[in-house]
Every structure is written in structure tokens, then in C-alpha cells.
Amino acid sequence: MQFIDLSSQQKRIRDKLESRIRTVLDHGQYIMGPEIGKLESALAAYTGTKCAVSCASGTDALLLALMSYGIGPRDAIITTPFTFFATAEAIALLGAVPVFVDIDPVTFNIDPVLIEMAIEAVAAGNPRVYPVPARALEGGLSVRGIISVDLFGLPADYNAIDTIARENGLFLIEDAAQSFGGECFGRKTGSLGDVGCTSFFPAKPLGCYGDGGMCFTSDNSIADKLRSFRVHGQGSDKYENVRIGINGRMDTIQAAVLLEKFEIFPEEILMRQEVAGRYTSLLRSDDSPVVCPGIPDGYLSAWAQYSVLAKEGVERPELLRRLKDAGIPTAVYYPKPLHFQEAFADLGYMEGDFPVSEQYAKRIFSLPMHPYLQAGDQERIASVLKGNSQ
Ligand SMILES: *Cc1c(COP(=O)(O)O)cnc(C)c1O
């Protein structure tokens, strides 16, 4: 059994993938070839945004979005400590200060009520209102934006977060690296903030065969900046540089792979709903040692991961051992909240600052999840989890 099975998908479309890659080999435009524009148009239409700007990774997508808002050392950005490292790394790489806010215990996503408390704590220079990094209290530093993360594929609470962003004059970046294909009240992920950033890392819901990413926005002036920062701060002429940027383009071959995979992607999102639904009906029972993820009304998860919590009093290592002994792969996302990472030690956070993230880091784990997971395998996983030897 595989944790994420990419080979079943490849078998379905292998011939078409090869033909798309052959087309790139024939035209030879490896950088910014025609597939790039085609992919950007197709995915912008899918997400319901005006502009899509492809790039080299999800991390670059976040970096380009922050650069387009001119983020630097005098800025603070609010985000969650319960995410992949790259979310906060992009903030710190530009010299800005990540201000962490704990998660909602049901959705694992950033808690809007606590966002308001963190904004107030920075404005008042008072860490008793909410724990904030010492550097955010030194004065002269202001909260400029929010990066919300759609963890495991489930969109964050955009109705509330968007209102907070508007009321406080902040931009909202949606880290949709795990949620491409998800929805929040009928709107697709990628379109839920001012800029949506996604990743096409192979294991993400829509993955290529290497690294890739994309920014989505309906703000034309931000889109122009994203395109400029993506290629060395280029101006209107190729050899004119108007700002300091990066080399952050997507390879044409990756765009070709994505165009083909996108053909079956909407169907795969439906298949993921079925797989997740089966897990939930198998694992919701009283004899289950885990708490299943909760999807609020009005939301559709892209189910990048199916992550469960060991019930109170249940030892996670014991559950992981049972699964391992039965040959069932698992993963722990995330064993260490970002405020405990050595790279962020200078922020000065302490144990107890984000109790939900800290507790969940000890209880959470993820089960095999992909569109091609068979009902029989899921029944076996549930049975092994419940302690019935199989
Ligand atoms: C994967 C991921 C990223 C980074 O994407 P890459 O393409 O690997 O650079 C950023 N944020 C989150 C939440 C992710 O899961």
C-alpha cells in the first residue's frame, strides 16, 4: 500500500503525458513555451480569477506574492504555526516578522478570533493581549497582511478572515498549496484572498513531475508585479530591470504535464470526496481510537491529506506502530509547530503560546490518501487502527 499512489494515475494517462512531453521536445521552447500560457489561462478560469502567474514552486508563489506587496524588514505578517515550514519561511526570507496565531480545534486552520487579538497586541505593544514576537513590539513595525493556510485541503474561514483583513487595511494571501480544487461557499481555492498561492509538488492534489507553483489574483497591478518579480524584476523590455526579483519561472515541460493531469483533475477531486467519506464512515464510531476531520457546511476539501487525531488518552505511537506492523504507511503533519523550530528561535516564542497547535502536534497523523485508494484497503486500515489484527 502506498501513502500517495501516483502510479495509478500515471497508468491512466501515460500515453497522453508522453505525447505532451514529446510536443515540448519538438518545439524546444523549454522556458516560457506555449504550454505556460495555456496552463495559466485554464487554471485562472477554473479558479474564477482574472490572472494566473505560474512559477517554480509553491514557496516561490508565496515569496512573489509578498514581494508584490513590497514586504520587508519593517513589516509583520500574521500566519499559522501549524503548517509546512515554507509558509512562514517566505515571510522571514524577506526580513519580515511572522506573527503566529493558533488554530481552530475543529478545522486545524487559523482561528479568526485570535487574528484580531494578535493585531491588537501588536498595535498596543502589549504581549499580554496575545503572545507576539519581541521584535513586533519594538515599535515602528506594523502588521501588513495575513497568510491563511488551507490545511490538508480545507479552506480557512474566509468569510471571517476577509472581513478582518478589510477592516484593518491588510492584504490577504491564501496559501492554497494543499487545497487546489477545494471550495468555500461555491468559490474555488486560489480565489479566496487577494492573491492565492498554490504548489504543484508531485504529492499535492494537482502535482507535476518536479517543482511548480502558481499565483492567482484578480488585481491586474499585482499580477504585473508578480510577472516582473518572477523574472529578475524585468521591466517592459527584456534587458530593463526595474526591481530586484528572482528566477522563479515554471518549466514548460511541467506545464505540459499539468495540462494533461488537469484533464482528469475535477474527476479526481470527486474521487477524493468518496475516499474521505469512506474513511469517515469507517472511523466515526465509538470503538474508533481517532477523531475524524470535520468539514463545516459550505466547504469542500481537496483532501490533500486525511488527518486524524488520536482520541484523548490514546497513545499515538501505539496507533502508528499497529499500522506500521500491518504494512500501512502513515505520516505526521506536523510534529513540530513552527514556533518551536530552531530557525524561528529568534522570535522568542515559548511553550504554551499556541496550545491547540502544540497539543495537536502530539496527537495528529495522516492516513494513506489519494483518488485511487480502494474501499478494501480502507476497511483494512480502519480495522487495524481499531486493534483488530489483520
Ligand atoms: C507544499 C507547501 C508549500 C510549498 O510548496 P513547494 O511547491 O513545495 O515549494 C507551502 N505551503 C504549504 C502549506 C505547503 O503544503
pLDDT tens digits along 202-232? 999 999 999 999 999 999 999 999 999 999 9
> Which residue of 85, 189, 199, 357 sits with most ligand 1 atoms within 8 Å of its CB, as the best mutation to test the pocket?
199
Ramachandran quadrant class, 303 (left: phi over 0; alpha: psi -120 to 50; beta: rest): left
Q: Is the pLDDT of residue 159 over 90?
A: yes
> Which residue of 66, 108, 174, 201 sits with most ligand 1 atoms within 8 Å of its CB, as the best mutation to test the pocket?
201
The closest residue, in CA terms, to atom 7 on ligand 1 is 58
Report the percent of the chain where pLDDT is more than 90: 95
CB 152 within 8 A of CB 365: no
Residue 83 CA to ligand 1 center (angstroms) comes to 9
Counting atoms of ligand 1 from 1, which one is nearest the CA of 86?
10
What lies within 8 Å, CB to CB, of 48 at 6+ separation is: 187, 188, 191
> Which residue of 80, 178, 305 sits with most ligand 1 atoms within 8 Å of its CB, as the best mutation to test the pocket?
178
What lies within 8 Å, CB to CB, of 85 at 6+ separation is: 338, 341, 343
DSSP H stretches of helix in the chain: 7-27, 34-47, 58-68, 86-93, 112-124, 158-167, 220-230, 252-283, 316-325, 355-363, 375-385
- The model's pTM is 0.98
> Which residue of 64, 152, 175, 250 sits with most ligand 1 atoms within 8 Å of its CB, as the best mutation to test the pocket?
175
The helix-helix angle for 252-283 and 375-385 (nearest 10°) equals: 50
Residue 218 CA to ligand 1 center (angstroms) comes to 22
pLDDT tens digits along 28-43? 999 999 999 999 999 9
Distance CA 260, CA 254 (A): 10
What lies within 8 Å, CB to CB, of 57 at 6+ separation is: 199, 201, 211, 212, 213, 248
Residue type, 146: I
Residue 84 CA to ligand 1 center (angstroms) comes to 6
The closest residue, in CA terms, to atom 14 on ligand 1 is 177
The closest residue, in CA terms, to atom 2 on ligand 1 is 177
Rg of the chain over Cα atoms, rounded to whole angstroms, equals 21
Residue 57 CA to ligand 1 center (angstroms) comes to 8
| Nearest alpha-carbon partner for 340 in 103, 82, 167 | 82
Q: Which residues line ligand 1 (CB under 6 A)?
A: 57-59, 83-84, 86-87, 149, 175, 177-178, 199, 201, 211, 213
Residue 167 CA to ligand 1 center (angstroms) comes to 28
pLDDT tens digits along 66-76? 999 999 999 99
In 213-227, which positions are buried (b, 16+ CB within 10 angstroms) versus exposed (e)?
A: bbbbbbbeebbebbb
Q: What pLDDT sits at residue 138?
A: 79
Q: Taking residues 59-86, what's their average pLDDT?
A: 98
Residue 154 CA to ligand 1 center (angstroms) comes to 15
Q: Is the pLDDT of residue 390 over 60?
A: no
Q: Is the pLDDT of residue 137 over 90?
A: no
Counting atoms of ligand 1 from 1, which one is nearest the CA of 204?
1
The closest residue, in CA terms, to atom 1 on ligand 1 is 177
Cell output for 314: 490514546
